[in-house]
Chain A
Amino acid sequence: MSVSRRELLRAAALIPAAGALAACATPVQQTPATQAAGAKKALEVWIFDGGFGHQYATDIHQPLFKSKFPDVEVKHNFTKEITKVLQPRFAGGNPPDVIDNSGANAMDFGALAQDGQLLDLGPLLEMPSWDDESVKVKDTVDPAVINFGTFDGKFFVLGYVNYIFGVWYSQKAFTDNGWAAPKTWDDFIALCETIKKSGKMAPFTYAGKHPQYLYEILLTMAAKIGGNDVLVNIDNLEDGAWKAPAMLEAATRWAEVGAKYLMEGTAGLDHVQTQTAQNKYEVAMLPSGSWLENEQKSTTPPDFAYGMFPVPDVTGSDKLPYGTLHTQPGENFIVPAKAANTQGGVDYLRAMLSKKAAGDFSKMVATVSVVKGAGEGLELSPGVKSASAAVAAAGSNTVFYRWQSWYAQLKDEAIAATGQLMTGGVTPEKYLERIQAKAEEIKKDSSIKKFKR
């Protein structure tokens, strides 16, 4: 067949015109391709490639899933940029089947829930567990998972790991210098003073570029002083919730730490830089969560021995006892409502919640999973051991908050204000007023979906 030059040009001109329809920025309602009956269904899985990597999915979860569903072809994918990669898929009406929607670039759960994009995972909780037909899935996981994954009465989000928050230190540095983990605030300040005077290292630091590490411990402390309701009221956007007396108490205490005991340059350093400084014995303590040990494994000296202590007693008449912990399920898995293989997605999550999958996962990435008893009999590292002991000691005295994942705007305001509080830019009173004002603005904004707990 011979093609004249003109025909070729004409054809070339038509190609971009054909692409025109595909380039729309506005959403287009698409009907998902219907699957022929009996066809082998594929299962598309997207894992957030963050602190835990994505190997746990290919090495542990997917082989286990395939053992019961050998016909399903698992399409494994991973990314650090969940939103950029997957948000267009939602807008186009063809989202994947399982998503680990985690990390700094995760999609907003509030927006997804509001738009009915998430599959109700309630039925998953009622299903028989992977290991034992007679036990329901919901009885194998930490109850906080269900509370945390519930938006407007529906269970949408499955947190897979249990994050445990506290103040982290090197057991070696503390033993060598004769320092002890403080039980009261006065002890804590005295310890900071001792460390400062010793000249060996700075007493305290936090990820100055990410002040959410600091408001975490500030809020946990406020809950310890004033009871769990302090956090519940904040989550529910109650009037004056941020200006509660317990919040002022906690903010005042931390502002003092900010003024006196921070490592030089803290405000301009990020979590990796401050954590590495701790590994180099340049600073004694920092607030973080149970992922810390795994995150720092390449820079931690072998005998460093991470340890964690909970928020100390503050007033002597704190509402919650010593040992109160902030725990929070994380590494959030969802199944999109419009996915092609929602049933496969649910079964994949069910496989993940088996004791074997969760136990192997805990061991591989050195963290605590939400599956009850999954860590039993496993050799644990000092940090995970310390955090697990703290959880056991806390018993039912655990607290959490959810406003930061519900209201992204409020989170940004709290981050900005907390940075200012710790560098002396605002007083504790002004600090709380500022965040309260933003909370009220969000409460009044009809375009933002509200949540209650």
Chain B
Amino acid sequence: MRRRLFIFSFLVAPVTLYLVYVIAPYAQAFYIAMTNWRGVNAAPQFIGLENFGRLLGDGVFWKAVGHNALLLALLPVITIALALVFAYLLNVGGAGGRTGVWGSKFYRVLFFFPQVLAVTIVAVLFQQVFRPDDSGMLNAPLMALGLKPVGFLSNPSIALWSVMAVLIWQAVGFYVVLFSAGLASIPREMFEAAQIDGAGRMSMFFRVTLPLLRDTVQVAWVYLGIIAMDAFAIVWVMTDQHGGPDRSTTVMAAEIYRNAFQYFQFGYASALGVVMFFFVLGFAVLSLRLSRRERIEF
């Protein structure tokens, strides 16, 4: 009993904090979503489901949902693929099959760099990288070759791809580390046995490494999915007109922020937030369900 009380006393603080600062605001958002609160008055009016009816016809919000969906479809696949290849090369991709490629220690640090930078800094840096004149890191060489500068962020049909490239650039390093750790836990004998059986680098990757990393990849998938559903910071800081030009890069979270803090429609913004909450929840449940499988024991 005393022991239990002791443990309980340690849990009270974090659980209370969690309830007050995480669960309670969620619950309140559901209530605010059913009001026409504009953020400054003290007496919001209850308007039922009107906000939800309105968001069904909100073209900009659905455009944002579409962008999140596109990110969700591509970002995890590309990032995981790149990270797997890099992790494989860094750990077991060397000539002997038991060490990384030449210089892997250096690359290991290099890949992790973007992860160390704050998202805002990354966004501001890439504004300069993508700059459409001869001060832009990408456009300066293009212009030196006599080509027209590319509007990486100012051309509505390119901008979202630029956003995705930055998200991938920033995420890959972390997953290289994650997959490296996963690789390290695979017994060496497995690779040796495969090698004795005559497996080349390719078949070793697809027949040994990938199946044994399944659990780690699955976790990465959920994490990256959540990044794809969010993407707020990069979009808000890096793109023109916060999700532009002409809303070509906007995402759900950006529309929530815009409606709340620029249009002062906190009620409506909360309704968007509630919808996003269910999208994210749905994604997490679905991806865990679909990927459930027997574990490989070793």
Contact = CB atoms under 8 A, between A and B. Distances in A.
Interface of A: 6, 9-10, 12-13, 15-17, 19-20, 23-30, 83-84, 87, 90-91, 93, 107-108, 110-112, 114-117, 208-210, 264-265, 267-269, 273, 277, 408-409, 412, 415-417, 419-420, 423, 425, 447
Interface residues of B, number: 49
B110 interface: no
Contacts of A90: 39-40
Contacts of A111: 38-40, 264
A348 B204 CA distance: 77
Contact of B263 (A17, A28, A408): A408
Among B155, B240, B244, the one with the most A-chain Cβ atoms within 10 Å of its Cβ is B240
Contacts, number: 141
Given A91-B39, A209-B241, A447-B265, A265 B133 contact: yes
B13 A416 contact: no
Interface in B242-278: 244-247, 258, 261-265, 268
B132 A265 contact: yes
A151 B16 CA distance: 45
B240 A268 contact: yes
A417 B28 contact: no
A111 B40 CA distance: 8
A425 B36 CA distance: 35
B153 A16 contact: no
Interface string B1-25: 0000000011011001101110011
Contacts of B130: 268
B182 interface: no
B151 A267 contact: yes
B44 A408 contact: no
Contacts of A13: 9, 12-13, 16
A264 B143 CA distance: 11
B131 A16 contact: no
Interface string B167-188: 0000000000000000000000
B160 interface: no
A108 B264 CA distance: 7
B31 interface: yes
Given A209-B240, A267-B132, A447-B265, A27 B42 contact: yes
Contact of A415 (B37, B40, B42, B241): B241
Nearest to B248: A416
A87 B42 CA distance: 12
Given A25-B24, A25-B28, A108-B262, 20 more contacts: A13-B13, A16-B13, A16-B20, A25-B25, A26-B44, A27-B44, A93-B42, A107-B40, A108-B264, A111-B264, A268-B132, A268-B240, A269-B131, A269-B132, A408-B262, A408-B264, A416-B244, A420-B245, A423-B154, A425-B156
Interface string B108-150: 0000000000000000000000111100000100000000010
Contacts of A210: 241
A267 B20 contact: no
Contacts of B155: 267, 423
B32 interface: yes
B90 interface: no
Contacts of A23: 20-21, 24-25
A419 B31 CA distance: 38
Closest 3 CB pairs of A and B: A268-B154, A268-B132, A265-B132
A273 B133 CA distance: 10
Interface string B27-52: 01101100011111111100000000
B88 to A, nearest CB: 38
Contact of A87 (B19, B29, B39, B265): B39
A408 to B, nearest CB: 5
B199 to A, nearest CB: 49
Contacts of B244: 415-416, 419
Contacts of A17: 16
A209 B155 CA distance: 11
Interface in B68-96: none
12 contacts: A17-B16, A23-B24, A25-B28, A30-B42, A91-B39, A208-B154, A265-B149, A268-B153, A273-B133, A416-B245, A416-B247, A447-B268
Contacts of A114: 38
Contact of A264 (B28, B41, B149): B149
A26 B45 CA distance: 12
Among B13, B21, B44, B130, the one with the most A-chain Cβ atoms within 10 Å of its Cβ is B13
Nearest to A210: B241
A114 B17 CA distance: 35
Given A115-B41, A408-B262, A447-B36, A19 B20 contact: yes
B35 to A, nearest CB: 9
A416 B156 CA distance: 10
A9 B244 CA distance: 51
B92 to A, nearest CB: 43
A131 to B, nearest CB: 35
Contacts of A447: 36, 265, 268
A115 B44 CA distance: 10
Contacts of A93: 42
A23 B23 CA distance: 11
Contacts of B153: 268
Contacts of B240: 208-209, 268, 419
Contact of A16 (B16, B151, B241): B16
Nearest to B244: A416
A445 to B, nearest CB: 8
Contacts of A208: 154, 240
A10 B8 CA distance: 10
A23 to B, nearest CB: 5
Nearest to A417: B246
Nearest to A208: B154
Nearest to A447: B36
Given A16-B17, A115-B41, A264 B154 contact: no
Contacts of B133: 264-265, 268-269, 273, 277
B262 to A, nearest CB: 6
Contacts of B9: 6, 9-10, 12-13
A267 B264 contact: no
Contacts of A277: 133
A258 to B, nearest CB: 13
A110 B20 CA distance: 32
A425 B246 contact: yes
Contacts of B24: 20, 23-25
A46 B122 CA distance: 32
A19 B21 CA distance: 10
Nearest to B29: A25
Among B32, B39, B40, B265, the one with the most A-chain Cβ atoms within 10 Å of its Cβ is B40
